[in-house]
Every structure is written in structure tokens, then in C-alpha cells.
Structure 1
Amino acid sequence: MSRRPLLQRLDPASVVVFRALHLGDMLCAVPALRSLRAALPRAHIALVGLPWAQQFADRFATYVDEFIPFPGHPLLPEQPVRQDALARFYNRLCARRFALAIQLHGNGDISNDIVSGFGAEAMAGFCRGPAVSRDRLALFPYPEIGAEPERLQSLMTQLGATSAGTHLEFPLSRQDEEELQANGIGQGLAPGDYLCIHPGARTRDKCWPPSRFAEVGDRLAAEFGLQVVLTGSAAERDLTAEVASHMHHAPIDAAAPISIGAMAVLLRDARLLLCNDTGVSHIASGLKLKSVVVFSKADIARWAPLDRMAHRCIWDPGAERAKVVLQHARALLSDTAPSRQRSVGMWPYW
């Protein structure tokens, strides 16, 4: 007789989930967290992540009850290790005696050792090689293909949670609305009368050239009568300024020290987003905002939004396909994209 899935056997009262990554990677985990919450509606679910992700846990409080900052690991590149905090971090987690620890941080080569140190009564996650199934351990082969939300959801499904959909979310709060209003960036912008260009990314080597963003922005402004709004963090003001310097239609430069949530309010009312492969593309997916996303390094099959008609992903490492980017932006703004749905695996990449 086959063994029942782990969640059904344990019905854990407390769960700690490990995923210590940046914004886009965290948003791709929302469907898995949604599925986990649906399977364990009364459980206390804690998230261990990079310190910035306190705001992620706050935004997704429906799925996450508690946030625990991760002090780092020498073999994980996302943050420097806080050596002085390591012992305290592991001692406190072990003292909590969580019923289940879930490794939601990749193939497990490094992260399984990290999560095994949490001292939970049971553990689950991905691994390399064959599956491992014991009374209080469930490791499944890491899926090497597929979109990230689907890969992560597959773990929850194998643990016994029913899928609650692989769509992304980005809930907005009253505080987000009030911050944008107080900042004044969106003053005078009517919903649907502008498009956003986000020329930055977490690393500059992923960025399409500012002149290419300007070229496409100018054409769309002229053809559709839209105001161009340049978005970004305060640290990306040099990029938005360079895009603006190449444009004939004066854009609004909205790069500013505002929160992710306030920027998302600005994005929500746009007609279109043009951006690099970065976290803001997943915000657009969560907001149901149409987008054109330029890829130059990352695996499109893994990181492209699942709705390939509303989100057009263009592979252009040589910055030679501005005409293709423009073509798909025009199609989205003209609302001429076919409405017929196909499975994700059948959509081409442009």
C-alpha cells in the first residue's frame, strides 16, 4: 500500500519554510505558499528569508504568519554571512520545535543542510537524485524544467496539498496608495493614459541599453498618445535619466526612494510595462498588467510569466531586436492579441 502524502500523515500544527531569495524569486513562490495555506488553514506558517523579505511576509500575511530573518550561509551568494548571528538563529529555531520544515530554495545541494539544522520534527523539500521517503522525511527530485511557480507548486502537490492555481498575486494596501499620493509622482496621471518603462534590474549586466528603451518609448508615445513614465529605485536614477536624455517625447522620471508597494500602485494603472527580466515583471504578472520583458541572460522557460499572451518575453542579449519589442508592445496596446488559450508549453518565445 502506498504511503499517504506527508501533509496528510502529519497534519502539522506549525511549519517553517525556507526561501532566502530576492523579490522576483519570492513572488514566484506565492502559488506554493497559497497551496500550503489552503492545505493547512489552522497551521502557524513561518517564513525564513533574506532580511528585506519582512515586507514580503507582511504583504502576504494571508499565507505567512511570521517572518524570521536568515543570517546567511557561506555558499549562498544572496547576502554576506552575519557570523555573529548564526548560533543564535539556529538555537532559537531548534528551540521552537516546528512540526515541519520545508526547503523551498532550489535543488537542495546547499539548502537541505541548512533546513536540517532547523530542528523540526519532520522535513520536506527537493533533492538531486532519487526521491527519499521516510516517516518524517520527504525529498523529491528537483524538476530541472518548467516555470518556477510550477516547479515550486509541484513540491506542494507531492506533499499532498491541492493546487490553488499557479497565478501570481501582488496585493496592494491603503498604505501603498497613500505613499504614492503623498510622494506626488503620479499626480496628473489618469489610469490607462500612460505606459511604464523600468530600465533597471538587480544587476546592471541584465539591462537592455537605455537608448533602446528610449527608442521604443518614443515610438509608442507617438503612435498611441501615451505619456511615458520611467520607474525605478533611487539608485537607478542614473539609468532613468539616461533613458530620458535619449527621448524626444519628454517622459516623467519616477525613479525615487519609494517602496515597492507604492511603485506597484503606479504600475497598476498603466496600459503597459516595458522592462528587463527582473522582479518588476513578476509584479506586473501579479497586477495583471500587460508587459514586454527583455531577456539577455536568464532562462526564459523558467522565469517568464506564465501568461505568454499578456506578457511577451523577448530574447535579445545583443540589443538588436528593438523592432520585435516594438511589434509586441504595439500588439498589446492595440489589444489585438489572440484570446484563444493554449497550454504554457506551447507558447513560443520571441
Structure 2
Amino acid sequence: MVLMRRLGRPLPLRIAVVRMLRGLGDMLCIVPALRALRVALPKAHITLVGFPSAHAFVARFSHYVDELAECPGYPGIPERQPDIQRLPEFFSFMHERSFDLAIQMHGNGVVTNPFTIMLNARMNAGFFKPGQYCPDEKHFLPYPENEPEIRRYVRLLEFLGVPSAGEALEFPLWKNDRQELSIMPETRDLWPRGYVCIHPGAHDPSRCWPAERFALVADALSDFDLRVVLTGSAGERGLTRRVAKAMRRPSIDLAGRTTIGALAVLLSNARLLVCNDTGISHIAAALHIPSVVVFTNSDPGRWAPLNISLHRAVAASNGSLASGGFSFRGGKGADGSQSLRRAAQEPIPGIEQVLTAAEDLLVKEKFYWQGE
């Protein structure tokens, strides 16, 4: 393979990467592509074109991304209401940067390809939707609808001649992340691998599995002599309180009390994570922590962790009521078996599916801990 064979010479040194999504998981999914780009072009200045929420991502991944160019929004991109009056100034600023290459890493390009072209880079690359506008067939691939989000952008760069640097995710842990977690009194008695993290929230509320089901799962996991730690953002405190109230066993509720870095440190010592399809599932994948990810309103083929030995994606099915070795004694004022049977009749993942997946990970003789 000739490096960047499609992009000619000289190799691009000023690169814009377009990814205007707000979720942490959305950003983590392009880390393998950014890594490949940095390995291939170590002297390049890489600018992420995105929203202000990406500042924390750029700071943590400064070894791959040099700066964030804040976009004021753009018509057709739902993540942010566009500030139309600021767009001319934004594009003028982008033109002054004189990018050698702009790579569209935001979806099928129906909306984002025209945006990328207006950055006025010397060359553009990305995906296009068949039958829709394709800026340049030499540098744009048909959008792969049925491919994992991580893999599709690695493949895009391979198409451009940039060798893959692997599909593994990353999440660097900083010294101050550990310090922030260590000063929390509730965490001082948590032993490594002696607890599970239950994360009942999601950036998109439509992806949330019912809180009462998380409570049943948390109680069942307690039977493995594991403590239960509830995690979430400040806006999810009400949700974690509902889980805690529905549980029979005690739990530690840290929702809204940790930075994302401190949360990652907490997760790095957990034995298991049970969560919805949201950003924390990608952090667990980056830290090689076993996880069960519940999919209710999103595509596991696109968003599920790639390592199926370490992670389980659970979606709705007509599974049996087999408990997988767990006992169901129910939540406060509830009969566990009746709750389980009601859950099995609904078109979302069942409790028994989640518990069977969790048990499968917990009882494996070999765990995939790094450094042990």
C-alpha cells in the first residue's frame, strides 16, 4: 500500500475532521480513525470541526487532535440549532486556515458533504449516500449502512491509503482523575473487581431501559457478593434514585458527583458494567471492562462494542424465562417472578436476557483484565 495514494503529493499537513455530534460515545467511535491518521501523518495539524461539547474530548485526545474549531450549527444537523448569522464568519475563518484535506466523518454525507465542501480545503474525502450528491468519486466511498460505526471510519482511511492502526478504543486516564475519585468517601471501601457499575441513563432518553429492571438486575448481581454502584450525570439523579428505591439491597449512588474522568477511573476497577447504549459503554470498551449493553431504541450492529468476548449487546427477543442461575426475589413490594414474566411480554430486552449475559461474563474462568 502506498501511503495516502489517493491524496497525492505533497501529503496533507493541515487536516480538518468534520464530526458535529455531541455525545461522548459518538466521538470515541472515531478514535481508531484519528489514531491511524496521526500514525500515518505525525507532523499534520489536525483540527476537529464540531460543537463546543467536544472541547473535553479534544483535551483528552490532544495526542491525536490539535484543536477544536467550533461550528455554530448548520441547517439539517439536529444536534444544535444553527446560528445562521454566524455561519459566514465561521466559513470565512475556515477558509483562512487553508486546509489541505477535509475529511467528513459525520454520517452518510447528505447534509454534511455540502458543509465539508464549504470549508474550502484543497481536497475533500468522506462517505456519500448512493443516489445523492457525491463530491468526488476518487475520494468518497458509498456509505456502508450496515457496518459498525468504529469500523466504517477506519475503512474510509484505508480507502484513502492510510493503514489501520487497529480498531481498539482508548480513554486516557489522568492523575487528577484518580485524585478526584479518591477524595469521595463512598469510594474508599470499594475493592478492585469487588463491585459492578449500573448506569441506567443515556444521552438519548429514548434509549433508556426501565429503572425498575435495572433494580432487579442490580439485586441479582449482589448475590455474587458484589457491591452495586449507580452512576450517571447530574440530570440522571432522579433516575438513579428510582433504581435505588426499587432495590432490595443497598447501593452507592454517585450520579452527578463524578467528572467523566473520575467516572472512568471508577469503571476501570469494576468487575462489570450494565448500561444502556450510551457513552459509558464505549469507555468500558476502551478500558477493557466487561459490559452488558442494553439496546432498546438503537442499532446494536452499529453501536455495540466490537469485542464480543468481553461485551454483550442485548436487544429485544422472544427468549425464554430461564434465569441463568440467578434467583429472583423481587424488588420492594414486588414479586420478582411476576416482574420477569411481564418483562418477557414486552418488545424491549427482557430481564432474563440481561442477567444471562451478565452471568456469562461473571463466571468465565478467564477475565480480560489488562495488567493482571
Contact 1:5 1:158 survives alignment (8 Å): no
Deviation, 1:310, is 0.8
After superposition, the Cα gap between the structure-2 partners of 1:3 and 1:262, relative to the gap in structure 1 and judged at 3 Å, is closer
Provide the rounded CA distance (Å) in 2 between the counterparts of 1:115 and 1:185. Answer: 47
Uncovered stretches (5+) of structure 2, i.e. residues with no partner? 317-345
Query: Aligned in 2, Cα 1:33/1:211: closer, same or farther, shift over 3 Å?
Result: same
Deviation at 1:82, TM superposition (A): 2.5
Cα distance change, pair 49–269 in 1 and its aligned pair in 2 (3 A): same
In the alignment, is residue 323 of structure 1 matched against residue 361 of structure 2? no
Q: Does the 8 A contact of 2:202 with 2:277 survive in 1?
A: yes
1:308 CA displacement: 1.1
Residue pair 2:295, 2:349 contacting (<8 A) in 1 also: no
Aligned letter for 1:318? P
Correspondence 1:130-169 to 2 at 5 A:
133=136, 138-169=139-170
AA paired with 1:333?
Answer: L
Return the offset for 1:249: 0.9
Q: Secondary structure of 2:187's partner?
A: coil
Change (3 A) 1:78 1:277: same
- Give the corresponding residue for 2:58: 57
Q: Structure 1 residue 4: deviation in Å?
A: 7.0
Whether the aligned pair in 2 keeps the contact of 1:199 and 1:208 (CA below 8 Å) is yes
1:212·1:319 contact (CA, 8 Å) conserved in 2? no
Distance 1:49 1:184, change over 3 A: farther
- Alpha-carbon distance in 1 for matches of 2:252, 2:172: 25
Whole-Å separation in 1 of the counterparts to 2:77 and 2:354: 34
Q: How does 1:32-111 map to 2 (within 5 A)?
A: 32-111=33-112
Who is 1:248 aligned against? 248
1:203-282 matches, cutoff 5 A: 203-222=204-223, 224-282=224-282
- Provide closer, same or farther for how the CA distance between residues 161 and 253 of structure 1 changes in structure 2, counting only shifts above 3 A: same
Matched ranges for 1:165-180 at <5 A: 165-180=166-181
Asked if 2 retains the 8 angstrom alpha-carbon contact of 1:132 and 1:140, the reply is: no
The answer to whether the 8 Å contact 2:315/2:348 transfers is no
Does the CA contact (< 8 Å) of 1:310 and 1:332 recur in 2? yes
Query: Do the aligned partners of 1:179 and 1:262 also contact (CA within 8 Å) in 2?
Result: yes
Task: Report the TM-score when normalising by structure 2.
Answer: 0.85
Equivalent residues of 1:8, 1:160 under 8 A apart: no
Counterpart among 352, 355, 363 of residue 334 in structure 1: 363
The corresponding residue for 1:344 is: none
Equivalent position of 2:332 in the other structure? none
Output the amino acid matched with 2:197.
C
Structure 1 vs Structure 2 CA RMSD:
2.1
Q: What are the superposed Cα offsets for residues 204-259 of structure 1, whole Å, 9 maximum, x if unpaired? A: 2211111111111101102x101000000111000100000111110000102432
1:8: Cα distance to partner?
Answer: 4.7
Task: Letter of the 1:24 partner, please give it.
Answer: G
Cα offsets for 1:297-328 (capped at 9, x unmatched):
11111111001121101103734511121111
| CA distance in 1: counterparts of 2:257 and 2:225, whole angstroms | 28
The alpha carbon displacement at 1:129 in A equals 2.5
Distance 1:42 1:48 in 2: 19
Matching residue of 1:189: 190
TM-score when normalising by structure 1: 0.91
- Secondary structure of residue in 2 paired with 1:45: strand
Matched, 1:303 2:303: yes
Residues 1:201 and 2:230 aligned together: no
Q: How many Å apart are 1:198 and its aligned residue?
A: 0.1
Native 8 Å contact 1:7 1:161 kept in 2: no
Deviation at 1:83, TM superposition (A): 3.0
2:10, 2:196 → 1: CA distance? 49
Per the alignment, residue 286 of structure 2 pairs with 286
Runs in 1 of length 4+ with deviation above 4 angstroms? 130-134, 336-339
Q: CA deviation at 1:5?
A: 2.4
Q: Give the distance between the partners of 1:182 and 1:314, measured in 2 at CA.
A: 35
Q: Structure 1 residues 331, 133: CA separation in 2 closer, same or farther (over 3 Å shift)?
A: same
Query: What is the aligned partner in structure 1 of residue 320 from structure 2?
Result: none
The answer on whether the counterparts of 1:23 and 1:279 sit within 8 Å (CA) in structure 2 is yes
CA positional deviation for 1:84: 3.9
Aligned length: 335
Structure 1, unaligned runs of 5 or more: 340-350
